[in-house]
């Protein structure tokens, strides 16, 4: 990932004048201890986000993986900053049908919390993300307790030899033993398909049809963190499934409550 | 603007403790520098690597990602990472990203040495 350069100076610096260093202060989320989700559409399943803490690779259970998806945008006259602006502006629209991103409509800013409704391995799952960091050429999500993995997802754009490329890089550990079991069976493959499709959709939006997305997967740490096995208590897949199973009972309870005038 | 490429220097405080002084920026461009600094700091008897962030001026999310990679390398060598010199802003980032649960934050170099005893 690259970082934004300081804008070119527009006036000569006078002797003795202080040149301010660039600051990252406005790029990071602030004062987030537990996630709080704003309003979401009625059709969304809103579970496993509000009240949760965010988790990174230190808090996860499984092996530590770095997965990198990259697409070059030859012939597209976009600077890295323009690519990121376009990506932030319509982030949800680039996702494949297997995922729904319910964030605010005006872009991606540090501290934003979004709801995700995903299909993973035939299972419906409600989870979320925190926008941990966002600058002009990159932005990073951090996942909550119960998400499939504990980690960071960084979206960035760079320019090499006049060609701009967009990239998604995920640094992740499966959050608990159940997800870790599913990693080689379904999650790796699903994650790859998801981000490859997302980058292809982004490239098409920027005028590059049929772009090739390259994928690289590196195991950074083969060890599992058994002290984190208890993360399974927050497993969003299990909690989403329980919510689904108990939906008829809740409907009956609501109906009874209405009839008795207490609902 | 500081350059990430020359942003690390290494000092040995004892056979067991080395300090990596970080100056300027920690971004994706610092990857080689941080990797080389770790290799230099990590002698056969080194048990504690102390990261001195007093001179840190800028860090993005890739920089935090590299600290995780460094942490994995240190854990593999059965070394412990400590950090000092973080201003309030960077201390909050360590807390937000929950890196502070794996990299012990201490007040200064003396405290790092005391923790290493």
Q: Inform me whether the pLDDT recorded for A49 exceeds 80.
A: yes
Question: Structural domains in chain B?
Answer: 4-115 (3.30.750.24)
Report the DSSP pairing between strands B80-84 and B48-59: parallel
Ranking A8-17, A41-50, A134-143, B8-17 by mean pLDDT, the lowest is A8-17
Q: What is the pLDDT of residue B1?
A: 44
Residues of A with a Cβ under 8 Å from any B Cβ are 1-3, 6, 21-25, 27-32, 53-59, 64, 132-133, 135, 138, 140, 142, 152, 154, 156, 169, 171, 220-221, 223
- Strand (E) or helix (H) holding B94: helix B88-96
Sheet strands (E) in A73-187: 99-102, 113-120, 123-134, 138-144, 149-160, 163-174
B1 contact A CB<8A: yes
In the predicted model, what is the mean pLDDT of chain B? 91
Residues pairing with B95 in the sheet: none
ipTM for the whole complex: 0.89
Q: Are B72 and A220 in contact (CB under 8 A)?
A: yes
pLDDT at B28: 87
Q: At A183, is the secondary structure helix, strand, or coil? A: helix
Across the interface, do B98 and A32 touch by the CB < 8 Å criterion? no
A11 pLDDT higher than 50: no
pLDDT tens digits for range A72-83 = 999 878 999 999
pLDDT tens-digit profile of A166-196?
Answer: 999 999 999 999 999 999 999 999 999 999 9
User: Tens of pLDDT along B37-64?
Assistant: 999 999 889 999 999 999 999 999 999 9
pLDDT over 70 percentage in chain A? 91
Query: pTM of the full predicted structure?
Result: 0.88
Contact A59 B98 (CB under 8 A): yes
Which segments of A33-75 are extended strands (E)? 54-55, 64-72
Q: What is the rounded average pLDDT of the residues B78-104?
A: 96
Q: Which domains does chain A have, with CATH numbers?
A: 53-222 (3.30.530.20)
Contact at CB, A28 and B93, closer than 8 angstroms: yes
């Amino acid at each position: 990932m690259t970082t934004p350069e300081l804008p070119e100076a527009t006036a000569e610096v006078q002797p003795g004048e202080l040149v301010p260093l660039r600051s990252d202060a406005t790029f990071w989320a602030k004062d987030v201890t537990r996630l709080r989700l704003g309003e979401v559409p009625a059709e969304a399943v809103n579970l496993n986000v509000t009240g949760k803490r965010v988790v990174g690779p230190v808090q996860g259970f499984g092996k530590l993986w770095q997965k990198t998806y990259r697409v070059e945008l030859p012939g597209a006259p976009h600077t890295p900053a323009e690519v990121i602006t376009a990506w932030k502006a319509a982030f949800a629209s680039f996702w494949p049908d297997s995922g729904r991103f319910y964030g605010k409509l005006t872009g991606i800013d540090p501290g934003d919390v979004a709801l995700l409704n995903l299909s993973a391995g035939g299972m419906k799952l409600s989870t979320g993300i925190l926008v941990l960091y966002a600058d002009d050429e990159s932005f990073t999500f951090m996942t909550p307790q119960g998400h499939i993995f504990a980690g960071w997802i960084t979206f960035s754009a760079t320019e090499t030899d006049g060609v701009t490329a967009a990239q998604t890089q995920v640094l992740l550990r499966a959050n608990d033993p159940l997800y870790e079991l599913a990693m080689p069976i379904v999650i790796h493959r699903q994650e790859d398909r998801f981000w490859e499709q997302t980058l292809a959709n982004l490239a098409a939006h920027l005028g590059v049809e049929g772009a090739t997305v390259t994928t690289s997967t590196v195991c950074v740490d083969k060890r599992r963190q058994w002290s984190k096995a208890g993360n399974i208590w927050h497993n969003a897949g299990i909690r989403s499934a329980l919510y689904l199973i108990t939906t008829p009972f809740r409907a009956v309870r609501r109906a009874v409550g209405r009839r008795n005038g207490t609902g | 603007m500081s350059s990430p490429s020359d942003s690390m220097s290494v000092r040995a405080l004892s056979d067991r403790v080395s300090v990596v002084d970080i100056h300027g920026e920690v971004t994706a461009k610092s990857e080689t520098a941080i990797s080389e600094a770790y290799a230099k700091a990590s002698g056969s008897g080194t048990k504690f690597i102390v990261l001195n962030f007093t001179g840190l001026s800028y860090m993005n999310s890739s920089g935090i990602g590299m600290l995780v990679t460094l942490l994995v390398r240190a854990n593999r060598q059965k070394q412990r990472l400590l950090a000092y010199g973080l201003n309030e802003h960077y201390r909050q980032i360590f807390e937000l990203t929950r890196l502070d649960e794996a990299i012990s934050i201490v007040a200064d170099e003396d405290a790092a040495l005391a923790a290493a005893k």
